[in-house]
Amino acid sequence: MKLGWDLKKGLNWFLTAWKNWDDPSPGDFTRSTLHTNNPEEVMWKGTTQYYRSGPWDGIGFSGIPSVSSDSNTNYTIVSNKDEFYITYSLIDKSLISRVVMNQTRYARQRLAWNIDSQTWRVSSELPTDFCDQYNICGAFGICVIGQAPACKCLDGFKPKSPRNWTQMSWNQGCVHNQTWSCRKKGRDGFNKFSNVKVPDTRRSWVNANMTLDECKNKCWENCSCTAYANSDIKGGGSGCAIWFSDLLDIRLMPNAGQDLYIRLAMSETEIITGIEGKNNKSQQEDFELPLFDLASIAHATNNFSNDNKLGEGGFGPVYKGILPYGQEVAVKRLSETSRQGLKEFKNEVMLCAELQHRNLVKVLGCCIQDDEKLLIYEYMANKSLDVFLFDSSQGKLLDWPKRFCIINGIARGLLYLHQDSRLRIIHRDLKASNVLLDNEMNPKISDFGLARMCGGDQIEGKTSRVVGTYGYMAPEYAFDGIFSIKSDVFSFGVLLLEIVSGKKNRLFSPNDYNNLIGHAWRLSKEGKPMQFIDTSLKDSYNLHEALRCIHIGLLCVQHHPNDRPNMASVVVSLSNENALPLPKNPSYQLNDIPTERESSSNTSLSVNDVTTSMLSGR
Ligand code: AMP
């Protein structure tokens, strides 16, 4: 089968869908081949372009990762003075396959004959997903499946109409953040975007014999050139494709696609490539999350209805929402009376944009409109850890293997914050209600409103405004306002003891010791640590692991920060058999908050688990 052009007769070979299953007259879905020197297949719905495959990149079509030279289909592009077409043959000739155009959303289907069942089986369909819709994000936009909203402007570009963009009307696309001056040395440059389906090739040019450097120079010389890439990605890449004017229909192709180099003003290329070394404040404030429109979030949450309410933290209620294409989200609505001001909100937005780890809750975007400040998170189906841990019936759902996975996940998330992320982050409010659980009970640390960023070598800070949650606060922080990664380690130790015992540190009040830490310390000293383990775990627990967790917990809550381990050694100790040091006396007298501080703060001092702040008397 040939899809393309008989140049002598001026004929175009293309496929047309039937009007419907019973009516073979032409429908309006068609599929044809573009006659350019960088050809690609396109689909139309009437006169509107519906889809394009992306050009052949030497291995497959740039926008169809499944079509590669090692699949069962051999594609050939024939171009001579008489004909220009794309054709294919099957490598395994014993297989029977056909391609069909349908008058449906999945306009192009490949069907394979199943000999056993004597039926046709759909082996692939196009378009495959939301981002396959032609040019859905407009010029200089990029579509990312799994992100909400799916469209964003390429780095270095901003929405042409911010208002329309926030209303998810993306067709006007994006424009340069800054104008660039053609070929002025030091004034324009190129940025590399990896794993993309390259833009529409109608306004492009190809030379198969050039190197990438020659390609860059070719683009540099032409003031209309907006991007360049290798035309063939086999064996490290060769050839040159350059694009002119607007770049249309780019999408991210995880684990596929290719590198595209886009022309930008030099200051933009510096910002983007400079992210690795980003540590100055003004640059951090430039970092933005996708902006959502208030109307669309109100719609998604059923107008912030009570039925959609998932919970309420110190900063306001959290609602479940469903975005237009079905993605579930959680929306934190900063209440007017909330203690999280604009500063804390921006802090959370900025940190969340930067932090990415499987044990940190992902923030998808934010909304600051009218008097509303909203944060949009990935939805965590099992809400927060405290819901399970401190409820006698729900607690039974958390057997020991799950609890141990949760402990390990929290430890890895905190290690990332302290050590592995580009920013050194001190969370300052780690507690059971700030650990969210996804549908498989994987833990993710949330709530970065109080988190603080430290410079590369800085390991502690001091504040006159002590914020956090009693029961989890390290003594040097509660009494002197000194926070450090070791004050987070203290909170982790408390959480660890709570997970093993199923009891809240703050509310625990056995006769002679006033909290859970003291109880764990006493039982361990008396050689009875087993009595500390949650009785609802019955036989599900691994005694060795549980005792080791109590030991690590007690090491983390030691009075002096220097005695506490860092998170790297906690992570190692949790999974190793290495000998652990003996813990020193813990800080279980923490509830004895000094009187003058009590009098300087409000009545919320006697509270339980709500994040609170108090002004120190300094
Ligand atoms: P926070 O203000 O972050 O402490 O959240 C308050 C409560 O809302 C939590 O304890 C959870 O029960 C719920 N919640 C917060 N974020 C999410 C989320 N991403 N998915 C599901 N529930 C959430």
pLDDT digits (tens, 9 = 90+) for 529-559: 999 999 999 878 899 999 999 999 999 999 9
Mean of pLDDT values over 317-331: 85
Is residue 136 within 6 Å of ligand 1 at its C-beta?
Answer: no
In words, the CATH class of domain 294-378 is: alpha beta
Q: How many angstroms separate the alpha carbon of residue 312 from the centre of ligand 1?
A: 7
Contact 400, 457 (CB under 8 A): no
| Residue 169 in tokens | 């009307």
With residue 175 as reference, give the H or E element that holds it.
strand 174-176
Provide the pLDDT confidence category of residue 271 given band limits of 50, 70 and 90: very low
pLDDT digits (tens, 9 = 90+) for 418-477: 987 766 788 888 999 999 999 999 999 988 766 665 544 445 555 545 556 767 888 888
pLDDT digits (tens, 9 = 90+) for 204-245: 999 999 999 899 988 888 888 999 999 999 888 999 999 998
Can you tell me the distance from the alpha carbon of 272 to that of 293, in angstroms, rounded to the nearest whole number? Answer: 26
- What pLDDT is recorded for position 180? 67
Domain residue ranges of the chain, discontinuous segments joined by +? 2-128, 141-286, 294-378, 385-615
Length of the chain: 618
Which ligand 1 atom minimizes the distance to the CA of 380?
20
Is residue 331 within 6 Å of ligand 1 at its C-beta?
Answer: no
Task: Go through 167-205 and write b for each residue having 16 or more CB atoms within 10 A of its CB, e for each that does not.
Answer: ebebeebbbbbeebeeeeeeebbbbebeebbbbbbebbb
For the chain, give the longest Cα–Cα distance.
99
Mean of pLDDT values over 50-76: 79
Residue 284 has pLDDT above 50, yes or no: no
Q: How many angstroms separate the alpha carbon of residue 332 from the centre of ligand 1?
A: 8
In sequence order, what are the residues at sequence separation of 6 or more whose Cβ sits closer than 8 angstroms to the Cβ of residue 349? 288, 289, 363, 366, 375
pLDDT digits (tens, 9 = 90+) for 69-103: 446 778 888 888 888 888 888 888 888 888 899 88
> Out of 132, 249, 293, 429, which one is annotated catalytic?
429
Can you tell me the distance from the alpha carbon of 137 to that of 257, in angstroms, rounded to the nearest whole number? Answer: 18
Is residue 315 within 6 Å of ligand 1 at its C-beta?
Answer: yes
Residue 200 has pLDDT above 70, yes or no: yes
- What pLDDT is recorded for position 187? 56
What are the E-state strand segments in 11-153? Answer: 11-13, 15-20, 23-33, 41-45, 48-52, 73-79, 83-90, 97-101, 108-114, 119-126, 141-143, 151-153
Whether the CA torsion 513, 517, 521, 526 is positive or negative: it is positive
**In testing the pocket of ligand 1, which one of 308, 436, 439, 445 has its CB within 8 Å of the most ligand atoms?**
436
Provide the pLDDT confidence category of residue 289 given band limits of 50, 70 and 90: low
Full-model pTM: 0.55
Is residue 383 within 6 Å of ligand 1 at its C-beta?
Answer: yes
C-alpha distances out from residue 342 to 274, 296, 315, 336, 372, Å: 27, 22, 11, 11, 10
Q: How many angstroms separate the alpha carbon of residue 412 from the centre of ligand 1?
A: 20
Nearest residue to 588 via CA among 540, 543, 523, 528: 523
Residue 429 appears among annotated catalytic residues: yes
Amino acid identity of 76? T
CATH domain 385-615 topology: Transferase(Phosphotransferase); domain 1 (1.10.510)
Map tokens 């032609």 to a residue.
134
Q: How many angstroms separate the alpha carbon of residue 203 from the centre of ligand 1?
A: 48
Q: How many angstroms separate the alpha carbon of residue 234 from the centre of ligand 1?
A: 47
Nearest residue to 500 via CA among 470, 529, 475: 529
Residue 510 has pLDDT above 80, yes or no: no
